[in-house]
């Protein structure tokens, strides 16, 4: 937000314009008994010059991917963002109409959402997408709720290879929605198919898997889909949208609902968000989807226009029938994804995916060659992989930070059974020199 100060005279003119004499009169509806009488415990106001310096000092305390080389992923990834994304996203037309509460007025925003939905459907191989959700974790939880509603069953099976924080979010949802959550174990880094078959029963609404999963390994979606559908349950797949430029779309492999985190699509890394959740489904589930869907139509003289076609939102007239509390989701993040995908195109996105794949496998081989790491699993991976480190992971990462390198994720935090588990992410931004220096510093740190 820009620094825009106002003088006492300007404030008085604004008050006069709206017909009140003072700031206190503006808030006269608030009872005196609940008003704070003391001064807020915050620093005194600063000039723009002082404030900029102060904020820079605070920001400088953070480690960032502009000054450090990042090999950390685990759900948030350091992909390249073309400058056109930020430039177009900053246009006032989008900032002020970030969500179309006045659907007929915000034609530009509605068209952008329609394009977003179209591209998500193309990527996932599904028929319909909504206008985005808060983040990948809530998208997964919403999909589980949607599956229970469709099947009129209440049990969800989720594999242990799904992102641990997404499982925690889902656990919270299930507690208050009357859903039962069962966890399926893993075998060699992927879903234990034998255990999954034993867990499936007449109450199972859906099976939730992630591919590439938290460990980076690509799951056998086709076999899981066949097993799930034989039980008349639905398959929900959480995926990395960048990987879909190379891998078969989940919809083509039998998924009924596809979700994921869209941060990789032109959105900056942030400490806890805001991020972008996408959700897409088969056509017959359209009316079960949370949030809103923008449709394309023509007016009475044949001009193309965009409208909010379905909107099961709490703010609108069917609020008592709303399936979820979507509210003002991160529509601006969805717009960033739309611009990113438009700019990259099919060839550009595929190139990004190929670079991720090739560089990740190069880094994997080089780390194994050091003799300090052992492969954790045998399955294929995309841009992220887990190794077992022979030393202390925390000490290793601290040594790397001193060399301005952000190391991999210590998997043991969520999976105690994988002592020394080290999850490394390699995006298209990492050069061969970056990877070679990373490997060299790992060896030096030991």
- What mean pLDDT comes out for the span 196-222? 98
Q: Does the structure show a pLDDT above 90 at 104?
A: no
pLDDT the model gives residue 324: 74
HEC readout, 49-63:
HHHHHHHHHHHCCCC
**Residue pLDDT, tens place only, 369-415:** 999 999 999 999 999 999 999 999 999 999 999 999 999 999 999 99
Measured distance CA(56)–CA(45) in Å, rounded: 16
Q: Which residues pair with 423 in a beta bridge?
A: 386, 409
Three-state DSSP state, 178 = coil
| Tens digit of each residue's pLDDT (9 = 90 or more) over 263-289 | 999 999 987 788 999 999 999 999 888
Report pLDDT for 282: 97
Rounded-to-integer distance, Cα 222 and Cα 405, Å: 38
In angstroms, the CA 410 to CA 388 distance is 10
In this prediction, residues 332-342 reach a mean pLDDT of 95
The 10 Å Cβ neighbour count of residue 171 is: 14
The pTM (predicted TM-score) of the whole model is 0.90
Beta-bridged to residue 128, according to DSSP, are 281
**368 alpha-carbon distance from chain centroid:** 30
The reported pLDDT for the residue numbered 317 is 56
34 by DSSP, 3-state: which? Answer: helix
Position with higher pLDDT, 102 vs 268: 268
Structure confidence at residue 99 (pLDDT): 61
In DSSP notation, 102-152 reads STTT-HHHHHHHHHHHHHHHHHHT-SEE-S-BS-HHHHHHHHHHHHHHHHT
Whole-number pLDDT of residue 80: 97
Domains of the chain: 67-79+345-443 (3.90.1150.10), 81-337 (3.40.640.10)
Residue 169 confidence (pLDDT): 96
For the cut 60, the answer to whether the pLDDT of residue 315 exceeds it is no
> In the numeric block, which tokens belong to residue 396?
């290793």
* Residues 23-44: tens digit of each pLDDT: 889 889 999 999 888 888 988 8
359, 73 Cβ separation under 8 angstroms: no
Question: pLDDT value at position 111?
Answer: 92
- On the CB side of 208, how many CA atoms lie within 13 Å of its CA? 33
Q: How confident is the model at residue 226 (pLDDT cuts 50, 70, 90)?
A: very high
CA-to-CA distance for 292 and 109, rounded, in angstroms? 13
The rounded distance, in Å, linking the Cα atoms of 129 and 141 is: 16
Q: Is the pLDDT of residue 210 over 70?
A: yes
Strands (E) across 299-429 are located at 304-312, 373-375, 384-389, 405-406, 409-410, 421-425
pLDDT of residue 312: 62
pLDDT given for residue 446 in this prediction:
65
Share of the chain above pLDDT 70, in %: 94
| Averaged pLDDT for residues 320-341 | 82
C-alpha dist (Å) from residue 34 to 27, 41, 416? 12, 17, 48
- The rounded distance, in Å, linking the Cα atoms of 219 and 191 is 7
Which segment, 64-68, 107-111, 236-240, is predicted with the most confidence on average?
A: 236-240
Mean pLDDT of the region 98-121: 82
Residue 354 has pLDDT above 80, yes or no: yes
Q: According to the model, what pLDDT value does residue 94 have?
A: 81
Widest Cα–Cα separation across the chain: 76
Q: What is the mean pLDDT of residues 96-124?
A: 82
With a cut of 70, say whether residue 316 has pLDDT above it. no
Mean pLDDT on 282-299 = 91
Residues facing 238 on adjacent strands: 210, 259
pLDDT given at position 59: 87
pLDDT tops 90 at residue 331? no
Contact predicate 242/79, CB 8 Å: yes
pLDDT band at 296 (very low <50, low <70, confident <90, very high): very high
Question: Which pair of structure tokens corresponds to residue 294?
Answer: 């923008």
Average pLDDT for the chain: 92
Are the CB atoms for 265 and 336 separated by under 8 Å?
A: yes
Q: How confident is the model at residue 5 (pLDDT cuts 50, 70, 90)?
A: confident
> The tokens 């044949």 sit on which residue?
302
Bridge partner list, 310: 293
User: What's the CA angle centered on 319, arms 316 and 321, to 5 degrees?
Assistant: 130
CA dist 316 and 323 (Å) reads 12
In this predicted structure, what is the pLDDT of residue 3? 82
Sign, CA dihedral 55-61-63-66, equals: positive
Angle separating helix axes 107-124 and 331-369, nearest 10 degrees:
30
The owner of tokens 């979820």 is: 324
Q: How far apart are CA 119 and CA 140, in angstroms?
A: 19
Sign of CA dihedral 48, 54, 60, 64: negative
């Amino acid at each position: 937000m820009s620094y825009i100060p106002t003088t006492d005279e300007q404030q008085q003119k604004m008050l006069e314009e709206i017909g009140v004499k003072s700031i206190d009169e503006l808030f006269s509806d608030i009872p005196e008994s609940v008003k704070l009488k003391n001064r807020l415990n915050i620093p005194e106001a600063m000039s723009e010059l002082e404030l900029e310096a102060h904020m820079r000092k605070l920001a400088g305390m953070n480690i960032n991917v502009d000054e450090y080389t990042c090999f950390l992923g685990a759900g948030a990834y350091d992909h390249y963002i073309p400058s056109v994304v930020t430039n177009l996203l900053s246009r006032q037309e989008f900032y002020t109409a970030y969500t179309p509460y006045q659907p007929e007025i915000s034609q530009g925003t509605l068209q952008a959402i329609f394009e977003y939905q179209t591209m998500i459907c193309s990527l996932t191989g599904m028929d319909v997408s909504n206008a985005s959700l808060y983040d990948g974790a809530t998208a997964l939880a919403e999909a589980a709720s949607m599956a229970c509603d469709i099947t009129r069953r209440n049990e969800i099976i989720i594999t242990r290879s799904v992102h641990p924080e997404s499982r925690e979010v889902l656990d919270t949802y299930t507690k208050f929605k009357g859903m039962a959550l069962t966890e399926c174990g893993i075998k060699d880094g992927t879903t234990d198919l034998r255990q999954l078959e034993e867990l499936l029963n007449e109450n199972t609404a859906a099976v939730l898997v992630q591919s590439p999963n938290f460990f980076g390994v690509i799951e056998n979606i086709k076999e899981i889909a066949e097993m799930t559908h034989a039980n008349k349950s639905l398959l929900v797949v959480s995926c990395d949208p960048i990987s879909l430029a190379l891998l078969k779309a989940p919809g083509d492999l039998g998924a009924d609902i596809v979700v994921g985190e869209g941060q990789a699509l032109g959105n900056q890394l942030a400490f806890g968000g805001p991020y972008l959740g996408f959700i897409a489904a088969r056509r017959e589930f359209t009316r079960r989807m949370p949030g809103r869907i923008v449709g394309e139509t023509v007016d009475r003289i044949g001009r193309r226009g965009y409208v909010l076609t379905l909107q099961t939102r709490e703010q609108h007239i069917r609020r008592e029938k709303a399936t979820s509390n979507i509210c003002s989701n991160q529509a601006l993040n969805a717009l960033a994804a739309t611009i990113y995908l438009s700019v990259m195109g099919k060839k550009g996105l595929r190139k990004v995916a190929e670079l991720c794949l090739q560089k990740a496998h190069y880094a994997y081989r080089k780390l194994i060659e050091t003799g300090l790491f052992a492969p954790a699993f045998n399955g294929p991976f995309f841009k992220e992989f887990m190794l077992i480190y022979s030393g202390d992971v925390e000490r290793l990462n601290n040594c790397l930070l001193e060399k301005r390198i952000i190391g991999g994720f210590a998997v043991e935090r969520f999976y105690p059974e994988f002592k020394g588990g080290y999850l490394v992410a390699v995006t298209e931004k990492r050069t061969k020199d970056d990877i070679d220096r990373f490997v060299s510093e790992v060896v030096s740190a030991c």
